[in-house]
Amino acid sequence: MSSCDSCGLPLSPKTQHDTGGTRCEPCTELATGTPAVQLAPLTERDLELVLAWRSHPDIYAHFRQQDSPLAWDEHRSWFESRDPDRHDFVISFSGRRVGVVNIDATDEVGILLGDFSAHGNGVATATLEWVCDRFADRTPLFAEIYDENESSKRLFERCGFQQQHSDGEWNHYSYDP
Ligand SMILES: CC(C)(COP(=O)(O)OP(=O)(O)OC[C@H]1O[C@@H](n2cnc3c(N)ncnc32)[C@H](O)[C@@H]1OP(=O)(O)O)[C@@H](O)C(=O)NCCC(=O)NCCS
């Protein structure tokens, strides 16, 4: 089965042919929208950048299972042993890599913009809308958001996620259109 030139996922019947390549419709909409965003599957050459992003305290402060910078060997092992149902994508904006988004095997979605200069432009919003569209067959989607993470709560709510329950510290969100 052929795959999208951008996200690398199998092409659906909703396929766009553009100059010299074939992209799925969600990727075409993402690349031609405002802001214009491109996604590509995470590769080995992205790992150093992701390590740096995820090792920044202002980023990992929002992660449930990380409370210190990542170690390179663990990061590589994680990359090589990922579940086949997990998908990680690098987010590019204005011609450079600015963050990553993923859906794991339990349909939980995670996103970060490690390039702080990309914040506040709607890049994460456009990307999360793409996830909801591209993985519509895996709904409901989920997210665990730290209660103090206001920008993330706004982001997920803007994209249609609704809070289901909270333990006061972590809020459980789902997207089930
Ligand atoms: C969560 C995170 C990705 C959100 O980034 P962000 O820059 O706020 O999100 P967006 O790129 O969608 O930008 C949205 C903001 O830009 C504004 N904006 C500007 N142009 C916009 C457009 N065209 N479309 C949508 N929003 C736009 C919005 O009003 C919004 O501002 P607000 O939050 O003050 O209301 C980022 O804060 C981050 O990486 N945090 C650390 C990791 C993290 O917490 N991940 C989530 C764990 S659950």
Q: What is the pLDDT along the chain (177 residues), one digit of tens a residue?
A: 689 999 999 986 555 555 456 899 999 999 999 999 999 999 999 999 999 999 999 999 999 888 999 999 999 999 999 999 999 999 999 999 999 999 999 999 999 999 999 999 999 999 999 999 999 999 999 999 999 999 999 999 999 999 999 999 999 999 999
Within a domain: residue 170?
Answer: no
Q: Tell me how far apart the alpha carbons of residues 165 and 148 are, in angstroms, rounded to a whole number.
A: 15
Report whether residue 112 contacts ligand 1, using a CB cutoff of 6 Å.
yes
Angle at 133 between CA 130 and CA 138, to 5 degrees: 120
Question: How many of the other CB atoms lie within 10 Å of CB of 116?
Answer: 12
Per-residue pLDDT, 13: 56
Within a domain: residue 163?
Answer: no
Per-residue pLDDT, 11: 84
Per-residue pLDDT, 41: 98
The answer to whether the CB of 7 falls within 8 A of the CB of 15 is: no
| Backbone phi and psi for residue 127, each to the nearest 5 degrees, phi listed first | -70, -45
Report whether residue 37 contacts ligand 1, using a CB cutoff of 6 Å.
no
Report whether residue 22 contacts ligand 1, using a CB cutoff of 6 Å.
no
Report whether residue 120 contacts ligand 1, using a CB cutoff of 6 Å.
yes
Cβ neighbourhood burial of 173 (10 Å; 0-12, 13-18, 19+): buried
CA of 1 to the centre of ligand 1 (A): 35
Within a domain: residue 162?
Answer: no
Within a domain: residue 26?
Answer: no
Per-residue pLDDT, 14: 55
Report whether residue 91 contacts ligand 1, using a CB cutoff of 6 Å.
no
**CATH number, domain with residue 51:** 3.40.630.30
Closest C-alpha residue for ligand 1 atom 48? 145
Stated as kind and residue range, the H or E segment containing 155 is helix 150-158
Within a domain: residue 101?
Answer: yes
Q: Tell me how far apart the alpha carbons of residues 12 and 17 are, in angstroms, rounded to a whole number.
A: 12
Within a domain: residue 41?
Answer: yes
Q: Tell me how far apart the alpha carbons of residues 160 and 142 are, in angstroms, rounded to a whole number.
A: 11
Within a domain: residue 52?
Answer: yes
Report whether residue 102 contacts ligand 1, using a CB cutoff of 6 Å.
no
Cβ neighbors of 173 (< 8 A, separation 6 or more) are 142, 143, 144, 145, 156, 157, 161, 162, 163, 164
Overall number of domains in the chain: 1
The answer to whether the CB of 118 falls within 8 A of the CB of 93 is: yes
Domain that holds residue 56: 33-137
Cα dihedral angle (5, 83, 97, 46), rounded to 10 degrees? Answer: -100
Residue that is written with structure tokens 């997990």 in the block: 86
**Length, in residues, of the chain:** 177
Atom of ligand 1 nearest to the CA of 119: 7
Within a domain: residue 55?
Answer: yes
